[in-house]
Amino acid sequence: MALADRPAGAAAWLRPLSVALVLALHGLAGPAQAEDRHAGYYYPVPQTSETYPARSQTLPDSDRTRRIGFVVQLTKQILDHPYPPDFAVFAKGDEAEKMLIVALREDVIDTLYRARALLAMLTSVARATPLFAQLGGEETFTFFDLLKILGFSQLTISDGESFAHQVTIE
């Protein structure tokens, strides 16, 4: 299905994130290693990186099971759409502490600017959740803060071919 044939606006594919977030944070669903064993397998060696000092704390019951549950629910919602997904989201690491977002087709996440645009949209969705309102961070928290709340310590976003950007979440 062509991009023009998809449901209007980003809301159609962003809704699954909020559903998955709510499920993961209601129980339905380690630090980054110096050597990145996933580089060269899921994505190229990251050309750019940054460290994000989170404004939130990891919830005490955010563990491997919750992180995997979040990713599973998000993936299920994305796959329920009548068109193929533009990217895959998955968790890696011994404690599923690394989130990966990898494009499944060309021209999706092939620049740092497109990666940041996708992350900004994910931030908008996260800010609209009841959790952020409850924590008082709906206007200041970002998608990275959501990942910190869930216990992720690293995010890598890639086009799956030649571009990769890695964020360490502290």
Q: What is the DSSP string of 100-124?
A: EEEESSTTSS-SHHHHHHHHHHHHH
16-25, 46-55, 64-73, 122-131: least confident range: 16-25
Domain presence at residue 37 = no
Domain presence at residue 48 = no
In this predicted structure, the answer to whether residue 111 has a pLDDT above a threshold of 60 is yes
Domain presence at residue 147 = yes
Beta bridge partners of 89: 101
| Whole-prediction pTM | 0.79
Q: What is the extent of the structural domain holding 107?
A: 11-29+53-169
Domain presence at residue 60 = yes
Per DSSP bridges, beta strands 164-169 and 48-52 are: parallel
Taking the C-alpha atoms of residue 54 and residue 147, their distance in angstroms, rounded to an integer, is 9
Domain presence at residue 36 = no
Who wins on pLDDT, 159 or 81?
Answer: 159
Who wins on pLDDT, 25 or 153?
Answer: 153
Hunting for tokens 């955010």 — which residue is that? 62
Total domains, the chain: 1
Who wins on pLDDT, 120 or 138?
Answer: 120
